[in-house]
Copies of this chain bind each other. A is one copy, B any other.
Amino acid sequence: MMIKAGIIGATGYTGVELFRLLVKHPEVEVAWATSESYSGRMFSNVYPHLNAVSDLVLKSLPEVQQDRADVVFCCLPHRTAMSVLPSFLEKQVKVVDLSADFRMATAESYTRWYGVKHSCPHLLTEAVYGLPEFNRNLISKASLVANPGCYPTSVILPLAPFLQKGLIQETDIIIDSKSGVSGAGRKLSLRTQFVEINENTVPYDVGRLHRHTGEIEEQLSSLANRQCRVLFAPHIVPMDRGILSTIYVRLREDISQEQALEVIKNRYKDEPFIRLLPDRLPETRFVQGTNWCDIAVSRVDGADRLVIISAIDNLMKGASGQAVQNMNIMFGFKETEGLQ
């Protein structure tokens, strides 16, 4: 019997990607989807590629309060999600939250990075950070999964194995990320108008300014069991989807290219969505539309440095694909179901 899923905030880019995945998922029925801007209209009216695929009518949030759902995916902006989700959790609905509202460990760090007081700090402890490669067990028992940010996913997966083995300096980590434009969401913005970003490469929030810095450092520190510190420089490049993160680290020990590859290979050999490229560097095109995280390492000649490069599709492993992976784990489905 299929479970019933609800999607809150379904008309943003992560929401519609999630919908695309769930309608094909053999264990899931999308029971409802909400949109404040488009409620009352057919989903296919907002996204014409859904014509003849789905005749779902979008609802407003109040309308779905009585509708049954076994799992709810929340694609609302941060600050909004935390005011909406408690009512679902109280009804024993499992929740995968794609916003940032339950990703931070404490109310203090949430306030530091998101500038507002957290409205339900007790849920922060309950929430599980939804990175299956590290928290699979916790996810399987969780009621509330905080789905990781797109940049943090592209950074934590390649870095953590080296940090956990103590092979790299934990305070000399430089992350240069290049993201497609869909990462900025669907809200209107001059910065994401075609003529402004086409034929352009744009750095922003360089240093320790971007909110994902906090998320990355908290997770790496927790996994490494010591305080990690990163320098993070995100960039937007003119493509729809994809994140390529080029990460520069300093080695504590002199390991070879082969040994560095082994670190990744051993750590992730049973993981269904991590792929080590043996003889090429990752490119965002190789992972487009998939839930893969591609990783390569490059030992720098004559220096104590390693460059680690990862590529993900920001809307898949960086958001909706990973959300479905988390749901699969929460409900005991095959982890790759609906993701291949």
Contacts and interface: CB of A to CB of B under 8 A. Distances in A.
Interface of A: 13, 24, 45, 48-49, 51-52, 174, 176, 178, 180-182, 186, 188-190, 192-204, 206-208, 229, 231, 233, 235, 237-242, 244, 246, 248, 275, 277, 279-290, 292, 294, 298-303, 305, 307, 309, 311, 340
A231 B248 contact: yes
Contacts of A285: 49, 196, 199-200
A283 B235 CA distance: 10
B203 A282 contact: yes
Contacts of A202: 281, 283
Contacts of A189: 188, 193
Nearest to A237: B237
B283 A231 contact: no
B300 A231 contact: yes
A281 B49 contact: no
Given A188-B193, A203-B244, 8 more contacts: A49-B285, A49-B286, A49-B290, A51-B277, A181-B195, A189-B193, A200-B285, A203-B309
A178 B181 contact: no
A177 B77 CA distance: 32
Nearest to A181: B194
B186 A188 contact: no
Contact of A200 (B203, B233, B283, B305): B283
Given A51-B275, A203-B309, A300-B207, A186 B195 contact: yes
A193 B190 contact: no
A149 B281 CA distance: 24
A108 B142 CA distance: 63
